[in-house]
Amino acid sequence: MVWEAKILTHKKEKRIAVYFKKDADLIARIKQIDGARWSQTLIAWHLPDTDENRIRFKLESASYFLPSVEGIAQIEKFKQWLRSKRYSENTLATYCDALKSFLVFYKHKAIEEIDNADVIVYNNEYILKNKLSASYQNQIVNAIKLYFSTIRETKIEIDKIHRPKRSKVLPNVLSKQEVKLILEAHANIKHKTMLSLIYSCGLRCGELLAMKPVHIDSKRNIVILKNSKGKKDRIVPLSPKILIMLREYYIVCKPTTYLFEGQMAGMPYDSRSLQLVLKQALRKTGITKPATLHWLRHSFATHLLESGTDLRYIQELLGHSSSKTTEIYTHVSTKSIQQIKSPFDDL
């Protein structure tokens, strides 16, 4: 065997890592598989953990990872219900995969017989045993609650299903100097404009890639974000400096459908390619922090707060439904902390 495959959790996601000596033919074949990515951290190619990929790399029998016939039918019914409620395809996939994981665990038990004790056993014998994250466990809870409260009558008491205790993780923030270095690292006008627009407007990656030229309103100096997370539209201010950059970019790249397009005209730029653009900028600047595109959004919010912008406006700009989500930035702002004098200085 010229390759070795194993299942692991990479960046909070179940993946199949494939290890082999450098081979152009193998690399070309792996690139043809949907969702295949190279990881510098793993020093391996990795793929989505699907039944098809497990068969492909001879990990285990696929039937072991399938729910019962009843379970398969119920997942399909759940999928149709979610689609009729107009949940996004990403949410639909997340919920159905989460429910599938739970029903595979209880494939030998009738769904109507599953109760709250079974949920606790699943948490202990699958989630905790496999060292899966609290956020993944929370996704399972969301899927179970929604499925059993809308699709299926069961012994489960929905209100008694508990969630994992949330860890209080602070958002990662870059300094203004670091952001400036990153945004100026690329000579390529498209790469520079994409990263600059994410920071200047506090955008999510998906929001940037879904934008079209018509969403830039230069007369009113705003950017219109359509159908963002939670299917909500919102507007954010357009920096005059960004407008100049966008005009230069438009003349050079001439996008047709989306504001930022990939190698195929009319198709949006790939999110993984955009992450790579940021990684290249980090290498060029010598910044060793494991920054992601979302760090630029966190930095935008924190820098606004430190400059005196009211938290309510920041909430609107970020598109947060709850002010509690936005309040987390008060814990990473250094404006007040820097004014505190340490007693060590008086020793």
**Quick check: is 283 catalytic?**
no
Q: Are 259 and 211 in contact (CB under 8 A)?
A: yes
**Quick check: is 126 catalytic?**
no
**Quick check: is 297 catalytic?**
yes
25/287 Cα distance (integer angstroms): 34
Closest of 267, 270, 316, 313 to residue 293, by C-alpha: 270
295/298 Cα distance (integer angstroms): 5
| Catalytic residue from among 95, 122, 249, 329 | 329
Class of residue 324 by CB neighbours under 10 A (exposed 0-12, middle 13-18, buried 19+): exposed
| Catalytic residue from among 229, 234, 279, 284 | 229
Q: Which amino acid is at 181?
A: L
Query: Would you give the distance in Å from CA 285 to the centre of its chain?
Result: 25
| Catalytic residue from among 204, 212, 279, 284 | 204
Q: Write the CA distances from 169 to 163, 303, 326, integer angstroms.
A: 17, 19, 13
| Catalytic residue from among 46, 297, 298, 303 | 297
Closest of 112, 118, 117 to residue 152, by C-alpha: 112
Class of residue 264 by CB neighbours under 10 A (exposed 0-12, middle 13-18, buried 19+): exposed
**Quick check: is 247 catalytic?**
no
Tokens of 163: 């969630």
174/288 Cα distance (integer angstroms): 11
Residue 136: what are its φ and ψ, rounded to 5°?
Answer: -65, -40
**Quick check: is 12 catalytic?**
no
**Quick check: is 320 catalytic?**
yes
Catalytic residue list: 204, 229, 294, 297, 320, 329
